[in-house]
Amino acid sequence: QKEVEQNSGPLSVPEGAIASLNCTYSDRGSQSFFWYRQYSGKSPELIMFIYSNGDKEDGRFTAQLNKASQYVSLLIRDSQPSDSATYLCAVHSGGGADGLTFGKGTHLIIQP
Amino acid sequence: EPEVTQTPSHQVTQMGQEVILRCVPISNHLYFYWYRQILGQKVEFLVSFYNNEISEKSEIFDDQFSVERPDGSNFTLKIRSTKLEDSAMYFCASSEVRESGELFFGEGSRLTVL
């Protein structure tokens, strides 16, 4: 059974600070890793993906991957109130599989 | 910006009734998916579809579910005999590349089974 675990939160961060979101996964053969943002009542929206160990930066977002520890994280710099949402970690196992395995998400609240 | 569109946005049905949820994927995408999210729970993969056939399905996608691409634009999910536990938000998604997690989701169809 492939599992993706996230702290459900809520994680409360002051505006302008760095928000750090974490995710662990059980399938050591997982190939690619995704962060989706989901506003309440809305659909998931892809914000970052990472395939290789290390860091990947895109604007205010940095994804970090450590395959040895089976750990993925997302950093949001200069957090804004509009970043308040649930952040979903998703993992793709590759090897012919199509479906993503999602975590339950971390609810992030940016305090103005 | 291209988007995935879904109809209806909300459907209420009686247990045992058939439901069809419709999706129009992004026009140049070739891979289509259905996911569902029960209220307060995680997003769960149901099925993927490519070249007019199912590529992969999860354990959730049992015999009461079916998918179809009846024409060049629509992609449908049919639930033959709905159960109370089918109440969820159903998301259609599409991607350009197979085995890609870079999905574009529609806004979802909320299904309420009474």
Residues B56, A100: C-beta atoms closer than 8 Å:
no
Contact B3, B103 (CB under 8 A): no
Residues B45, A103: C-beta atoms closer than 8 Å:
no
Q: What is the pLDDT of residue B1?
A: 74
Spatial distance between the Cα atoms of A26 and A41, rounded to a whole number of angstroms: 28
Q: For residue A94, what pLDDT band results from cuts at 50, 70 and 90?
A: confident
Top pLDDT among B30 and A62 is at A62
- In the block, tokens 């505006």 appear at A15
Of B43, B99, B102, the CB nearest to A97: B99
Distance (Å) of CA B7 to CA A3, A21, A29, B26, B89: 31, 33, 36, 15, 12
Contacts of A49 in chain B (CB under 8 A): 101-102
What b/e string do you get for A40-77 counting C-beta neighbours within 10 Å, with b at 16 or more?
A: eeebbebbbbbeeeeeeeeeebbbbbeeeebebbbbbe
Residues B108, A44: C-beta atoms closer than 8 Å:
no
- Helix then strand count (H, E) for chain A reads 0, 11
Strand-strand pairing, B104-105 and B88-95: antiparallel
Chain A to chain B Cβ contacts (< 8 Å): 61
The predicted model gives B61-79 an average pLDDT of: 93
Spatial distance between the Cα atoms of B67 and B69, rounded to a whole number of angstroms: 7
What pLDDT digit, counting tens, does each position of A13-49 carry?
Answer: 999 999 999 999 999 989 899 999 999 999 999 999 9
Q: Is the pLDDT of residue B99 over 80?
A: no
Alpha helical stretches, state H, B21-73: none
Q: Is the pLDDT of residue B80 over 90?
A: yes
* CB-neighbour burial class of residue B88 (10 A; exposed 0-12, middle 13-18, buried 19+): buried
Q: How far is A82 from chain B (nearest CA, A)?
A: 19
Nearest to B86 by CA among B67, B60, B107: B60
Number of Cβ within 10 Å of residue A109's Cβ equals 15
Sequence-separated (6 or more) residues with CB below 8 Å from residue B102: A34, A46, A49, B95, B96
Q: What is the pLDDT of residue A91?
A: 95
Q: What is the pLDDT of residue A2?
A: 83
Task: Nearest chain B residue to A94 by CA: give it.
Answer: B99
The predicted model gives B66-73 an average pLDDT of: 90
